[in-house]
Each structure stands twice: as C-alpha cells, then as structure tokens.
Amino acid sequence: MKILTGNDLKSGAVTWWTGYDWSIHVEDAVDVGDEADAIAAREEGARRVNAPYAIDAERDANGGVRPAHIKDRIRALGPTVRPDLTLKPADPEAGNWVI
C-alpha cells in the first residue's frame, strides 16, 4: 500500500493522511493508491501539511500500518533512544516495531 506523510506546518509534527484529515498516528493512515500527488498538492496548498511525500507500507497481522522503511517507522514512533518521547511511552515493546 502507499501512504502519505508529511509534517504539520506550525508544529512540525509528523502526520499521516487519513483519507479526510491528518493524524499523528500511523495506524490511521490509509492507502492513497495513485492519488498521492493530487492529495499532497491540495493539502500543501491549503497549508494543512508541509513537505508531504508518499511511502510504501504494509498492513501487519493486527491490521496496523507498518511503513516499509525503518526511517519512516522511526518517524512514526519517535526516537528509539528516548522511549519517553515517543507516541507510546508506556509500551516497552514499541521499539521492537521499529526494528
């Protein structure tokens, strides 16, 4: 699947396209098929996202969304060396999802 990601213009936070809005949670991302460029242009023009780009991802066994490349998985979770600053600070296994 192809998913769309970028950064929030004001805060810089990593965001993912949900089909109608942007979420900081990668599990909310939807397959954009071949619509990535059109969505990116429209959303960037409306300043709802900064520097959007499409990436490859897959659905995992639990139905979650897992970016194909480790760089995007780290973007999705947060720095692996600061679990307290990730989106899942209480989940000791969260780092394993990245690797």
Partner 1 sequence: MYRYDHYDQAMVDSRVEEFRDQTRRRLEGKLSEDQFKPLRLQNGLYLQLHAYMLRVAIPYGTLSGAQMHALADIAGKYDRGYGHFTTRQNIQYNWIKLEEAPDLLADLARVEMHAIQTSGNCIRNTTSDHFAGAAADEVVDPRPYAELIRQWSTFHPEFMYLPRKFKIAVIASQTDRAAMKLHDIGIRMVRNDAGEIGAAFYVGGGMGRTPMIAPCIREFVPVDQLITYSEACLRVYNRYGRRDNKYKARIKILVHELGREEYTRQVEEEFAHLLTQGIEPPLAELERIATFFADPPFETGLADDVDRSDPGFALWLDRNTLPHKQPGYAIAVISLKPVGGIPGDASVEQMHLMADLATRYSFDECRVTHAQNIVLPHVRKADLFAIWQQLEAAGLGAANLDTVEDIIACPGLDYCSLANARSIPVAQKISRRFADTGKTAELGELKLKISGCINACGHHHAGHIGILGVDRKGTENYQLLLGGSEGDDTSLGKITGPGFDEDGIVDAVERATDVYLARRREGERFLDTYRRVGIDAFKEAIYG
- Three-state SS at 54: strand
Nearby residues of 76 by Cβ (< 8 Å), 6 or more positions away: 14, 16, 26, 67, 87
**42 near partner 1, judged by CB under 8 A:** no
- Rg from Cα positions in the chain: 13
- Only one of the segments 15-23, 30-38, 58-66, 73-81 lies at the binding site for partner 1 (rule: CB under 8 A); that segment is 73-81
**23 near partner 1, judged by CB under 8 A:** no
Q: How far apart, in whole angstroms, are the C-alpha atoms of residue 43 and residue 29?
A: 15
Q: How many residues does the chain have?
A: 99
- Only one of the segments 15-23, 31-39, 57-65, 76-84 lies at the binding site for partner 1 (rule: CB under 8 A); that segment is 76-84
- Only one of the segments 15-23, 28-36, 57-65, 70-78 lies at the binding site for partner 1 (rule: CB under 8 A); that segment is 70-78
- Contacts to partner 1 by CB under 8 A: 7, 9-14, 44, 47, 50-51, 68-71, 74-75, 78-82, 85
